[in-house]
A and B are shown apart, each in its own frame.
Chain A
């Protein structure tokens, strides 16, 4: 292991990787700090660049960017009451109320330190749990992989969304896209409508850029002249009083870190969900729950730790099983395939240096978050003044060229545009877009493992439940669907017994 760590460190110490980390830190901070731009969009726009990189810089670029972006989302939340990314939404009201009370420096100081600590906690869990899980995963067959992917799909619908019906519809759309092209059993073309471009399926990258980039631009078209009333921040004072606050809430941080990592490991749920659940847990166990939403620092500590802890957790199922933890790791899986690497337990055997380098890059990104975060807070006033009527067309150009660059095809630019319209329409009607991505990634895993299992068991469905691990995963999947209805069923049963 020491050898692998040393090799990984040598790989990471090259000048081009250092430069990649620095550029992606600035990119992530910018995207996070500008309201309306999300970390997922930033990851989708990074993909065309990663196409021309080696696997390690490509992965390090995404790790650094997402860590910085999730923290930077806290800056506009505190200063103008608009979360920079959805992951900061849970504690936006508390942050802004404290800013109005003249405590913006404390809020931002707590934000940056809890983000770094949360991120480091996540990195430790990733480093310790992923290799162990990879050994378990080596024993998995198509039956277990089918159930694992089914669990991911179920969690996407039932846990990661406020409206399971609409999340389900989005997921089915993603799964449908994954059906387009030659099928795996007979090589029969499905839903290609005579197009040769569609024989290989709906290309993941233009679809991502459309769903997260173009749709975001279209949504921002109505608010391109928005000017924010910005609170001036004395950046040199942001660390004053932070240590005392964090010491007071040290147990909260441990709990929130645990929640964040757990939600991350759960396939399908991302940093925004982790923040909301950590916020709810914080309120449940707080001595002052009545202050929540009115300017309490406690939920900022909790949710701010959880959303960054979640990021490394999201990489656990992505690296170990090839099942994305959230929409960004869905993109990561796409990047790995693009680089000829198949995520799964074998990557731990074949490319251990790469995996260790990813672990270490999480640690580096979270340590660098403190100085880079300080600088971002220092220039926050300027970041929030970036003219959106120039920024949005510029991003549009990157979307167009990025989509084209993957296959040098205008069909992909058209696909990006169509996906942009779809994403715009979905978001405007309360249908989440992230399940489409997860459906596109998980669809082939579910179908391939199901068909392989059925063919090798000669269409004996009981085989899906007779292997111990498969049975446990099946039970978990079924529980995911049934759990939300359990309280209602229990209440009805009790009501029935009482009336009897």
Chain B
């Protein structure tokens, strides 16, 4: 997902300004010297300056990249797969406590592999075996309290 430098620069410029704005209510040190706000403000200022320069550079070089290549994104398999992974992990975070790691982890693995064109039966087998191994390694050997959910093992 390539975005033009002008837009990237403008984004950082805005982010820098927001950081500075976020420090306005921070208390000063005794004697009125800047305390918690000093570093974020310097950083915000630098982000504004560098973001502005990147944006200007983009404008000057006549950056030909579309502002965001939105219209082409739905054709990009890589991008769609990436979104699939992100949604899958988000769903994992939401449901793993209820369903448990063994079920939810295997489901996530299966869905992502299936999306990446692994034959369904092979994907299912790999997902179950690999996820059980990960569970054994982390939950049983390293004693990480992975959520049990519906499967009590």
Q: Which one of A219, A387, A405, A429 lies within 8 Å of B144 (CB-CB)?
A: A405
Q: Is A392 an interface residue (CB 8 A)?
A: yes
A454 and B31 alpha carbons, distance in the complex (Å): 13
In the complex the two chains form, what is the Cα distance from A179 to B131 in whole Å? 37
B86's partner among A405, A421, A459 (CB-CB below 8 A) is: A421
Option from A166, A188, A429, A431 in Cβ contact (under 8 Å) with B26: A188
**CB-CB < 8 A to A451: which residues of B?**
35, 38
Per-position contact with A for B56-72: 1 when CB-CB < 8 Å, else 0? 01000000000000000
Are A405 and B138 in touch, CB under 8 angstroms?
A: yes
The contact size tier of chain B is: 35 or more
Per a CB cutoff under 8 Å, which of A190, A225, A397, A417 touches B90? A417
What residue in chain B is nearest A425 (Cβ atoms)?
B1
Report chain A residues within 8 Å CB of B96: 410
Q: Is the CB of B79 within 8 A of A176?
A: no
The complex places the Cα of A49 from the Cα of B137 at a distance, in Å, of 10
Q: Which of B27, B43, B84 has the most CB of A within 10 A?
A: B43
Asked if B151 lies at the interface with its beta carbon under 8 angstroms from chain A, I say: no
* Interface assignment of A297: CB less than 8 Å from any CB of chain B: no
**A52 contacts the other chain (Cβ, under 8 Å)?**
yes
Known: A183-B36, A185-B35, A389-B118. A165 touches B79 (CB 8 A): no
A281 to B51, CA, bound (A): 34
- The yes or no answer to A404 lying at the interface (CB within 8 A) is yes
Q: Write the nearest CB–CB distance from B26 to chain A, whole angstroms.
A: 6
User: Would you give the shortest CB distance from B27 to chain A, in whole angstroms?
Assistant: 6
A188 touches B50 (CB 8 A): no
Q: List which A356-405 residues lie within 8 A (CB) of chain B.
A: 387, 389-390, 392-394, 396-398, 400-401, 404-405
Q: Which of A82-90, A167-175, A285-293, A315-323 sits within the interface? A: A167-175
Residue from A49, A190, A400 in contact with B92 in the complex, judged by beta carbons closer than 8 Å: A400
| Given A169-B50, A392-B116, A221:B82 Cβ within 8 A | yes
Q: Is the CB of B144 within 8 A of A217?
A: no
Report Cα–Cα, A191/B18, bound state, in Å.
11
Give the docked Cα–Cα distance between A389 and B122 (Å). 12
Name the one of B5, B39, B85, B142 contacting A221, with C-beta atoms under 8 angstroms.
B85
Chain A residues 129 to 184 lying within 8 A of chain B, measured CB to CB, are: 165-166, 168-169, 172, 175-176, 179, 183
Whether, in the assembled complex, A424 has its beta carbon less than 8 Å from a beta carbon of chain B, the answer is yes
Q: Could you say which interface size class chain A belongs to?
A: 35 or more
Q: Which of B50, B85, B93, B146 contacts A218 (CB 8 A)?
A: B85
A413 located at the interface, meaning its Cβ lies under 8 Å from any Cβ of chain B in the complex: yes
- Please measure, in the bound complex, the distance between the C-alpha atom of A402 and the C-alpha atom of B105, giving whole angstroms: 13
- Asked whether, in the complex, the Cβ of B93 is within 8 Å of the Cβ of A413, the reply is yes
Instruction: Give the interface SS of chain B, mostly helix, strand, loop or mixed.
Output: helix
Complexed CA–CA distance, A3 and B46 (Å):
50
Encoded as 1 (CB less than 8 Å from any B CB) or 0, chain A from 447 to 481 comes to 10011001100010000000000000000000000
Is B99 engaged at the interface, CB distance under 8 Å to the other chain?
no
A60 → B minimal CB distance (Å): 18
- Chain A residues with Cβ below 8 Å from B33 are 454, 459
B109 touches A394 (CB 8 A): yes
- Assembly CA distance A484 to B96 (angstroms): 52
The verdict on A396 contacting B112 (CB below 8 Å), with A179-B40, A183-B35 known, is: yes
Cβ contacts under 8 Å, B36 to chain A: 183, 185-186, 188, 190
Counting CB contacts under 8 A, is A223 at the interface?
Answer: yes
Q: For A390, list chain B residues within 8 Å (CB).
A: 113, 118, 126
Whether B93 and A410, one on each chain, are in contact in the complex, defined by CB atoms closer than 8 angstroms, is yes
- Across-interface contacts of B86 in A (CB, < 8 A): 218, 417, 420-421
Q: A227 an interface residue at 8 Å Cβ cutoff? A: no
Q: Flag whether A201 is at the interface (Cβ < 8 A).
A: no
Q: Does A351 contact B (CB under 8 A)?
A: no
Please name the residue on chain A nearest to B46 by beta carbon.
A172
The reply on B150 being an interface residue by CB < 8 A is no
- A222, B1: Cβ atoms closer than 8 Å: no
Contact B105 A397 (CB under 8 A): yes
Q: Are A429 and B116 in contact (CB under 8 A)?
A: no
B37 → chain A, closest Cβ, in Å? 8
Interchain CB contact (< 8 A) of B113 among A214, A217, A393, A420: A393
A111-141 with Cβ < 8 A to chain B: none
A396 to B96, CA, bound (A): 15
Q: Establish whether residues B79 and A186, one from each chain, have CB atoms under 8 Å apart when the complex forms.
A: no
A–B complex contacts, Cβ < 8 Å, 25 sampled: A49-B142, A168-B50, A172-B16, A176-B47, A179-B39, A191-B22, A191-B40, A217-B85, A218-B86, A221-B79, A221-B116, A222-B81, A389-B113, A397-B109, A397-B131, A400-B105, A404-B146, A408-B144, A413-B89, A413-B92, A413-B93, A417-B86, A417-B90, A428-B2, A451-B38
6 shortest A-B CB distances, which residue pairs? A222-B78, A221-B81, A389-B116, A183-B36, A393-B112, A218-B82
Beyond A185-B35, A221-B81, A221-B84, list 20 extra A-B contacts (CB 8 Å): A165-B50, A168-B50, A172-B46, A191-B40, A218-B85, A221-B77, A222-B79, A222-B82, A224-B81, A224-B116, A393-B108, A394-B130, A397-B105, A397-B130, A400-B105, A401-B146, A405-B144, A417-B90, A428-B1, A454-B33
Q: Could you list which residues of chain A lie within 8 angstroms of chain B, going by C-beta atoms?
A: 49, 52, 165-166, 168-169, 172, 175-176, 179, 183, 185-186, 188, 190-191, 214, 217-219, 221-225, 387, 389-390, 392-394, 396-398, 400-401, 404-405, 408, 410, 413-414, 417, 420-421, 424-425, 428-429, 431, 443, 446-447, 450-451, 454-455, 459
